[in-house]
Structure 1
């Protein structure tokens, strides 16, 4: 088996469907039955099933290929047209019968009825040589099973089992087991219950871990990540405790979760293809699926971007500042290294947030910290420091700057208030002159005495030396 190719395509293998959303208004009931009458306003076609997984992956990776079975009918032609137009390279296999279609009738952001077409699943024809060659040069492979039979094709299964690229298996209760050696299986809770026959009784985490362990052993896969909707995912591996991965944020309103599992599985496959650990890949997948749902899910794929602005927490620092200012709000900013986040930092950030309508943290980069603090710093890299800060309720955005002072980033953001923690006056702050140029003001907030990163590092070093001397 050859080494995986990290420059190759993400290959999605699975059942592609043609999805159609018919959206309209309801203002009356049908005269001959107690059902609502939908007055159609728009009808939107899009790839569904494995086709949607490929479509979502294109947003993350510039080379995505889809191996699927297509029928020789209008639905198959429309599906191929949509995928090609989105930049997905389609490798078709022959599908007897009709293309599967799922039609959703929707109003007010809700689905009234779903109509399925296509009949019973049929076994696809043999994969052409081009498919086997494609799998051999894949960066990562996502097996996206929608129960239509493609992943039961024996020659295709053999090629998947022989592939050197990491395989993520997104299962379906009516589909076959993952091929042995699969890196990660990604069932949701309902799929897990149906695949294992486990009623998932008892404590939720224990029951899910038990069933996931059973599936992992039965299928001989490396790991199972069970998606749990708004709670994120639970990762179960051999010989370790389950890893619970909550989403970074839960949106106040969920419009459409269709495709969230596809987004999760595609993001996990891409991360594994980049060399990430399984835990890091699942963490990235949770974040990607959460952002997808927050943006409207499948219903948001064709939305006019101008009519659907993302929430403030999802914007960059520059976009956030511009939006808050356009609304007549007050932009507050503060800055620092925040190398080891402690109670003093938290007190400053909480006080700063109360001074306006948003708080942006200007964070020194690793190079900037080294220039200010010496070669042993920072203790934590910028990505980790930014992530911790962004997780705080009082912080709305984080931006990293590379210079020794935040002058350039301040000139770009133009905050109304610049906040520092401490006892010094405005004249001692080098940023004061910069902030005044656009009418901003500089304020200080109380700083908790005795809390400092330098002090924490010094105390830890001394304690370590004393322990070492005691051992000697």
Structure 2
């Protein structure tokens, strides 16, 4: 196949990233599982709908396109009936509002389209069925595939062990690309070694220990992971190795003037998400975008870890069923719209509250816990720094909005945080449309400007007990007195 016409129309030149690797077709069969089969102790799933999406390198391309990046997907495809579903899934991604373009540059795979079907009952995975996933023969790499790497800002290699990243000509082109632009390599335990010019390689913990071939510590504590990362850094000769650790974040090992540097541990925001599928793809895509935009590696890694945590918190690959242009709000730290959407999908009650939270204190903690008890998720609307200055004067806030947001997000009772720049959160509330808006008992619900806004969609405003003697203003005064 030759270079295809972009699936969506052209746009002004923005980031352009090549995704190189193996593409799969992922299918979710979704339904209810409320009984066991009479002929075997297995759940019966009443399938309500089927969702098909691009997996493997196709998922990385999907995530980047939803971020607004123009993607060149360099891969190989079969010529069977299922490849039509795969192309349709890519087309649906690139046609969604606010998405970037996807251009497919593909050679013949010489094998059936690999399909991974997950059966999910009530949101829980029950079984996965693989079709056409046997090791294929060597794919055909075309001149168009090699040329596609010439005019991009970064490359993500999504190696799923099916031979694309093993081709000698393509590897030579990737190594040359790594001398010009960032190459992020997401490896597979059955795949090929990354090229030495890769800026960063992103194995998960299991892959890292397997790829180290027993030459490193068998311990999976942080010291053991660091030993493995150092061994892989030496073996591959790449710029850095980032071992992802799931809920614990990631460990970065990189070279500093030719010498392995001290490991850097990047923690992840705690999440209630239960499906980590696709989190590694989300991390690699975000790291590549940040590096392409000129961010230093440490900042790119931090952005990638945060994006992966948000991805899991918002439901993982299931969140891709939402339109790309409604999945996030400006200034949110855990996809507030996604949290509200998923809570309603489960039939739950969405609760929101708001304030400056300039110095987090016990009164705040008690109010937030009481608010969370009124429903099934709690979204906190936080005044931006500019908003706080207008409300409280030029010497406030004491803590910047990013720090205030991080502290709130760390509380177990808080599901999402969104920062707003207006004096009141009315515009944000119209987007989230919470069922319940909560304020402390020092307010009168009828006097709040948000009360009328909430009532417009049938929501209600409530107050919870106020705890006198605890306020950010009092704490600020005490801090001033002690210097």
Matched with 1:206 is 223
Report the Cα offset of residue 101 of structure 1.
1.4
Q: Select the residue among 177, 180, 183 that pairs with 2:193.
A: 177
Matched with 2:328 is none
Report the Cα offset of residue 239 of structure 1.
1.7
Conserved 8 A contact 1:365-1:402? yes
Matched with 1:13 is 20
Conserved 8 A contact 2:21-2:57? yes
Cα RMSD for the two superposed structures? 4.5
Q: Select the residue among 262, 268, 292 that pairs with 1:246.
A: 268
1:387-413 deviations in Å (ceiling 9; x for gaps): 322322344554434345668778987
Q: Which runs of 5+ in 2 are unaligned?
A: 1-11, 95-101, 255-259, 325-333
Q: Structure 1 residues 395, 299: closer, same or farther in 2, change over 3 A?
A: closer
Report the Cα offset of residue 269 of structure 1.
1.9
How many residue pairs get aligned? The number is 431
Report the Cα offset of residue 120 of structure 1.
3.2
Q: Structure 1 residues 368, 40: closer, same or farther in 2, change over 3 A?
A: closer
Conserved 8 A contact 1:189-1:226? yes
Report the Cα offset of residue 206 of structure 1.
0.8
Conserved 8 A contact 1:406-1:431? no
**Larger-gyration structure (1/2):** 1
Q: Structure 1 residues 157, 456: closer, same or farther in 2, change over 3 A?
A: farther
Matched with 1:222 is 239
Conserved 8 A contact 1:102-1:117? yes
Quote the Cα distance in structure 1 between the aligned partners of 2:225 and 2:184. Answer: 19
SS at match of 1:86: helix
Matched with 2:75 is 68
Quote the Cα distance in structure 2 between the aligned partners of 1:64 and 1:176. Answer: 23
Q: Structure 1 residues 159, 361: closer, same or farther in 2, change over 3 A?
A: same
Would you say 1:368 and 2:387 are equivalent positions?
yes
Report the Cα offset of residue 267 of structure 1.
2.5
**Pairwise mapping of residues 111-122 of structure 1 onto structure 2 (< 5 A)?**
111=127, 113-117=129-133, 119-122=135-138
**Pairwise mapping of residues 35-50 of structure 1 onto structure 2 (< 5 A)?**
45-50=52-57
Report the Cα offset of residue 118 of structure 1.
5.5
Matched with 1:418 is 439
Matched with 2:409 is 390
1:26-81 deviations in Å (ceiling 9; x for gaps): 83669xxx999999987655433212222233222342220012344445555445
- TM-score, normalised on structure 2? 0.72
SS at match of 2:285: helix
With 339-348 and 161-170 compared, the bigger mean Cα shift is at 339-348
SS at match of 2:161: coil
Report the Cα offset of residue 184 of structure 1.
1.7
Report the Cα offset of residue 265 of structure 1.
1.8
